[in-house]
Amino acid sequence: MKKILSTIGLLFILTGCSLGNMDNTPTKQVEKYLNNYQTLDSNILTKLDSIVDEETLLSDTQKDTYRDILKKHYQDLTYTIKEETVNGDKATVEAEIEVNDYTKALRSAEEYKVSNESEFNDENGVYDEEKYQEYRLGLLKDTKDRVKYTIYFSLTKQDDEWTLDTLSQTDEDKILGIYEY
């Protein structure tokens, strides 16, 4: 009986260890990172607040609208892991993400503004930035076009744990859907 219990205990320990290691792969770390966007993890929301706060041309109400637009954008992000390459303590995971094409919407807003500048003037004929930002936010909110980007995530293994290296600004822009292609 002791032998059977010892065998079951050993099997449990080995299974537990291997299950723990299954989550400690470069691919799993990238999936976790991207899932954090989809589920609006608290770290992602903090990052989102920083992005919104940097928008100095938006009113407080417009910042709230922009925050809601980005939340939906993050939740709508989809991805496919294409390939994982491990070389010692370094790894690269290729992922294809699909996001709203905000670049297209922002370009369209800018082109419209240039061609129709008087539409954004106040009753005295003076350009009103708030009117333009309201128009721009409307285009972002109504965006239906999607775009796919490839991101090569770099990871480093430290103390037997894979951690994501800092993303480039280009890759951050891809996730935000504002990468200039």
Q: Where are the domains of the chain?
A: 25-176
DSSP string across 128-181: -HHHHHHHHHHHHHT---EEEEEEEEEEEEETTEEEEPPPPHHHHHHHHT----
110-140 pLDDT, tens per residue?
999 999 999 999 999 999 999 999 999 999 9
Residue 32, CA distances (Å) to 5, 36, 123, 162 in order: 36, 6, 51, 12
83-92 pLDDT, tens per residue?
999 999 999 9
Global pTM reads 0.83
Q: What is the mean pLDDT of the chain?
A: 90
Residue 75, CA distances (Å) to 8, 10, 13, 44 in order: 42, 41, 37, 11
pLDDT at 22: 76
pLDDT at 21: 66
**Looking at the predicted structure, is the pLDDT value of residue 4 above 60?**
no
**Looking at the predicted structure, is the pLDDT value of residue 69 above 90?**
yes
CATH topology of domain 25-176: Nuclear Transport Factor 2; Chain: A, (3.10.450)
Q: How confident is the model at residue 55 (pLDDT cuts 50, 70, 90)?
A: very high
